[in-house]
Amino acid sequence: MNQGLRNYLIVTGGYWAFTVTDGAIRMLVVLYFHLLGYSPFEVAMLFLFYEFFGIVTNLVGGWLGARIGLNLTMQIGMGMQVAALAMLTAPDGWLSVPYVMAAQALSGIAKDLNKMSAKASVKAMVTDDSESRLFKWVAVLTGSKNALKGGGFFVGALLLEWVGFRSAVAILAGLLLLVLIITATLLPAGVGKMKSKPKFTQAFSQIPAINWLSAARFFLFGSRDIWFVVGLPVFLYEVLGWSFMQVGGFLALWVIGYGLVQAGAPRLLRKSHHGQGPSGGTACLWAFILALFPAGIALGMQQGWPVDRVLVVGLILFGGVFAINSAVHSYLILAYSDHEKVAMNVGFYYMANAGGRLTGTVLSGWLYQTQGLTGCLWWSATFALMAALLSLRLKKPI
């Protein structure tokens, strides 16, 4: 096994472990705090700092990774996630909105440091100029991550039902600490570190393609989170009467399936891009297709079709198309970047990603409370359409 593949597998393993805790903590907080009587908008507010600090972290983290190495920023992220989980083991009297928002802020910083580091590392580990290999490696990393995040949703719901909220977060903190120790021992120093010390102003992209892709990414992830983060799980629990396990299990299976489609995207798109990496036209086409599904679900619900069937079938189709969109974007950001500046470009791009998630999360709670799930879905379709229009400016990577 060559050194690049060995390091890729270690990074992927650490990313997998982190992702399970990230999915679990999301489901634990949504369900537990809804059970405590928090309104949908209040639950959304708990994630406000989680998403906001992701914007800052991706920008600063890309610059930091270029200076100190991506493996070190990944390990810092894991350590911060352990601390965030430990904060949530406090008694109920401590779990005020500001306190939980602070814990979620720490978790948001941790998540984006970890994600930026792992994905930027792939570019550093692909030593040749093979577009197909780069697309395959980043698709497998991202797709498997999303499948495991779905597993994390299930783990969170299961632990909440079996051992309660505090014991659940304590177990997750202990397991992630063990993984942190293992990866810190096995990974070499300096992956992704630039030879020169970049200035902070260099963190802002000067490449038009990366700026357009980042803008499209903002609306792409906003289109998902605007109905998926708060509106959907609360609707399944409150309106359809599903149990915690049913909600967590269904959303887990959805994210797992979404991740598997994402990991298989290079094979699914092989004929359309003739063995090469996808182009900006690919991103544009699939974003237009994506916009059709939330609009279709909303229309079906407004026409009085069976809500549970419309949601389940529509969500499955939305997830598959969204997965292909995400895989194409994840490839393009690496393809548009050179090896030397990959950490900063990826950090800038995921800053836009975090901005879209923040906007989608806040709107998910507010729109569900004021317009219901159909309102969330119509706004989701609008965001996906915006992602498609912005992708018209993208070209094929050179």
- What is residue 130's predicted lDDT score, i.e. its pLDDT? 57
> Residues of 54-74 as b/e, b for ≥16 C-beta within 10 angstroms?
bbebbbbbbbbbbbbbbbbbb
In this structure, which long-range contacts are made by residues 188-191, counting pairs with CB atoms below 8 Å and at least 24 apart in sequence?
188/7, 188/71, 189/69, 189/71, 189/72, 190/69, 190/71, 191/7, 191/69, 191/70, 191/71, 191/121, 191/124, 191/125
- What is residue 169's predicted lDDT score, i.e. its pLDDT? 92
- What is residue 266's predicted lDDT score, i.e. its pLDDT? 76
- What is residue 45's predicted lDDT score, i.e. its pLDDT? 79
Tell me what the mean pLDDT of segment 342-353 comes to.
Answer: 76
pLDDT band for 322, please (50, 70, 90 cuts). very high
pLDDT band for 195, please (50, 70, 90 cuts). low
pLDDT band for 334, please (50, 70, 90 cuts). confident
313 pLDDT higher than 90: yes
pLDDT band for 309, please (50, 70, 90 cuts). very high
Q: Domains in the chain and their CATH numbers?
A: 3-190+202-391 (1.20.1250.20)
Q: What is the pLDDT of residues 146-174, one digit of tens each?
A: 777 778 888 888 888 889 889 999 999 99
Q: What is the pLDDT of residues 10-45, one digit of tens each?
A: 877 888 888 899 889 888 888 888 788 888 778 877
Q: What is the pLDDT of residues 53-95, one digit of tens each?
A: 877 777 676 667 667 777 788 889 899 999 999 999 988 888 8
pLDDT band for 225, please (50, 70, 90 cuts). very high
359 pLDDT higher than 80: yes
Dist. CA 343–CA 209, nearest whole Å: 16
Tell which residue, 332, 349, 316, 208, has the closest CA to residue 277: 332
> Could you give the 3-state DSSP secondary structure of residue 188?
coil
- DSSP state, residue 275: T
